[in-house]
A and B are shown apart, each in its own frame.
Chain A
Amino acid sequence: MSRGVLLGLPWYGLRRSLRVILALVSLAAWAAAFAAVHFSRSRWPDGWLVGAALLALWLALMGLLLSSTLLPALDARRLCLPRLQRVAVRSLLLNGALLLTLTATPLAVFSGHPAPVAEILLMGLAVGVAYGLWPLLWMFPLWLGIPLLQLVASLWHWRLISPLDPRFIEVCLAVVTVAVTVSARNWRRVLRTGPGELKWGMRPIILNFHVSRHALSGTGAALDQQIRVARQVPEWLLPQAAVGEAGPQKMPRALRVMLGGLYLPVTWRSRLRRLSVVGVIFASGTVFLLPLGLHAGWRWSAVRPFVALAFIFGPGMAMAVGTMARSQHLVQRWRRPGGELAVLALLPGLGGRQEQRARLLRLLGEQLRNWHAPLLALAVFAVLWLGAHGAAIGLLLLVLALAPLTEQAVIYSTLGRRLLPAWVCQPLLLLGIATYVGGLNVVALMMMRPGLDAMVPPLVVACAVCYGALLALAVRGQHALRCQAHPYLILE
């Protein structure tokens, strides 16, 4: 087996577009890490630690991708090719070792703290691989476990060991040992059982990731996989539609039922289930805050920044996730020749060409408002209540408005069948996400300490660029939609 195959195995499966994004992310992570280390020499003594943490996160992402060598190993197992199976393992180890050395060496030399840097990076990589091989259903206890651990830790007034402490290596070794053991066990378990027999919840995260990555494209074999996944999800996890009186007399409701996804009106039981998921996320967030509050002795001034953080990022992330979910759902629906689109296009009672279009746009717009308006209001009022000043509120509004604007642009360009080609869409998406996350961060920072107004103008410029692009996209799509025979034409 040539060295090229050994090195390339984890990356073959990545789409080209994903590789480009990965390269960009890597570049950004490295630049930021080395910048932070550089500043640690002059103004920011902890900078090297931040740099190391950043690259450890990046390595964790790489480790997650490396764990995809499980797929060729599975194929090899199915085809009874033990040699190929060994190649998969060797490729994983080789790539991991290479990544680690190539990252750790320059950073260790540059930062002047070789041992702790290497330890942090090793932890990152090991945890990344373990995460990729972790069964999907066990992810939830994992997520809940972290804040709980922290709660226990702070209750006992046990503080995390500084990486400079000589005992840090023990912590590191413990974490790596656990991660490696877990990875090896899961790897062997999956190979023994075979992916077909594995229940949905017991499939490693990387396998599910692989499926959903295909699902985005919504064509060919990916569809079969998607259907297979849907069949594996336990029935109680599927939303229960509340069809009720939906029909020609209750057209908006009927359209919502037919569009599905987040548009689908669901029964009370389903709604409760959805709410309980949000509740769990919220609860884990509070558990995070609790030890900090305890630590600070419940002084409002100490807790306030965290409350602000929660009220900025909570609604902000909910808006972003909603936008993503609905946009993706819509694009997928409009790509499938055998799906709802054909039914909708030939359904009587939806009216003529203009009425049909107006009805659909009105419904999608309504849904967009219903989702975004309360969240936006919540964020703004909370920030106002917490005593933010004009610039912070202005910036918050400007940044948060990106989410509904994106959704509207996607709606127009999907229905008008004028989607952007990937090479335009991806940089734009990256800029948008960077602006969004960066903007929310800056607003949060502005709530905590004054004197950060200098960061506003570049963000406003970035926002303006995004606004311009989205507006152009929306207008283009809207125009195309107006010239189109009906809004239910397949995206090709």
Chain B
Amino acid sequence: MDATLLTIRPSAPEPIYRQILEQLRRLIAAGQLAPGERLPSVREVAAAHAINPMTVSRAYGLAESEGLLERLRGRGMAVAAQGARTRSQSERLALLEPSLQALARQAQELEMAAEPVLRRLAKLLGE
């Protein structure tokens, strides 16, 4: 995996370590990162995005404790063997939860009925 695959938005309200963690979760859940695939080192990520290495290692550490990543002895991090396989659909749906909540809130603010929103969503997913 290349360090530039991650997108960092420093000014977002979400802390950078969370942004990295979320992206790792998604990439692994979707199978874009295969089990056993090596991750860029903390230094590479930090240098590529000019961010603090401690932030990167914090994200990696959390991902490791979640079982997404595993530490290779002396050779950095890799995607854990069981990481992607065991993800159930409900677990993957949980990853979407924040976005869905935000969507729901915006729809409420716009005083939209559920129907047209769901139709539009279905269309987007169908494409």
A and B touch in the complex (CB under 8 A): no
Residues of B within 8 A of A (CB): none
A contact residues vs B (CB 8 Å cutoff):
none
